[in-house]
Amino acid sequence: MWSKTLLVAGLLSAISIFSSTAAAESLPPYNEFRVNFNQHQPQPYQRAMLKADWHMLVRDWLQNRAIVRFDKKNPGNHYLRVKYPANVVGGWHSGAQFIAKVPESNEYWLSYKMRFQPGFDFRKGGKLPGLGTGDGRYAGGNKPVKGDGWTARLMWLGDGRLVPYLYYVGMPAERRFGDYWPMDARVRPGQWQEVSQRVRVNTPGKRDGIYEVWVDGKLATRRTDIVWRYGNQAEIDAFLFSTFHGGASLDWAPRWDSYIDFDDFVIGRKAPAAVQRAWLAAAR
């Protein structure tokens, strides 16, 4: 069932994770980088705002489907609402996408808050943001056979479960459209959820790469045997805001307009506070 469900899940990713090269520009190292939307007035999230927030933009495809909104229940807080229009799939027509460069590192944590709106039509599934390398080209069936790049995102499935969605050189040969496996997490529409992903690239020549997902401070999955790359190449250097319905065929498309809210993005070398609290609780 898993193969049938996800066989075509990545087909449109090839046109959704953009193939372009950012201008040669060095990024200062940082231990933690935060983005929220409190500095913006309610309006479509435009390229100038995107560049101001994320500093080094590789490419974007927002198409007025990402809008900054006031949080009525929390005055002073603003968030980003993404629209997934009815009857379309893939990153050109559904959701919103951009790629931003981050300073190269062998390990990062990415965390953000997301809220699926009540009535969200999961249909067969779709993509959620993650980390990667370069221009995010390894998606949509484009496997990184040279070990020179990878992508690590999440998917929601038709029943609201969340699963990893990864492309890496050591992925199983039978996984034509990305590697995936069940994990202990699901979407709760109408509620803010904090999702944290940890990636540590493998030591060259070893199967010791790490991938973890935490949801609301609870460990959902952990792998410590991933071969992300060959040699010293392909360190983490890209944030992939990549979210859309699909899959390639229209049976992945929502039957009505659906929405997800995003807020409080953090990229850094230390575990998010919710994860640290879980560690402390487990140590008592």
pLDDT, one tens digit per residue, over 193-240 is 999 999 999 999 999 999 999 999 999 999 999 999 999 999 999 999
Q: How far, in Å, CA of 80 to CA of 261, rounded? A: 6
Amino acid 2: pLDDT: 41
pLDDT grade for 8, boundaries at 50, 70 and 90: very low
Helix (H) or strand (E) holding 278: helix 273-283
Residue 4 pLDDT grade (very low, low, confident, very high; cuts 50, 70, 90): very low
Each domain of the chain, given as residue ranges in start order, spans: 2-283
Residue 162 — very low, low, confident or very high, per pLDDT cuts 50/70/90? very high
**Average pLDDT, integer, range 90-106:** 96
Q: What is the pLDDT of residues 126-135, one digit of tens each?
A: 999 999 999 8
d(CA 17, CA 133): 11
Question: 24 pLDDT exceeds 80?
Answer: no
Cα–Cα distance measured from residue 45 to residue 69, given in angstroms and rounded to the nearest whole number: 10
* Model confidence, pTM: 0.91
Contact 224, 191 (CB under 8 A): no
Class assignment of domain 2-283? mainly beta
Q: Which two tokens stand for residue 270?
A: 């230390």
- What average pLDDT does the segment 145-159 reach? 97
CA distance 122 to 244: 11
Nearest to 250 by CA among 97, 86, 116: 86
pLDDT beyond 80 at 20: no
| CB 178 within 8 Å of CB 172 | no
Mapped onto helix, strand or coil, the DSSP state of residue 78 is: strand
Six-digit token string for 135: 């221009």
Instruction: Kindly indicate the confidence band of residue 12, based on its pLDDT and cuts at 50, 70 and 90.
Output: very low
Task: Answer whether residue 72 shows pLDDT above 60.
Answer: yes
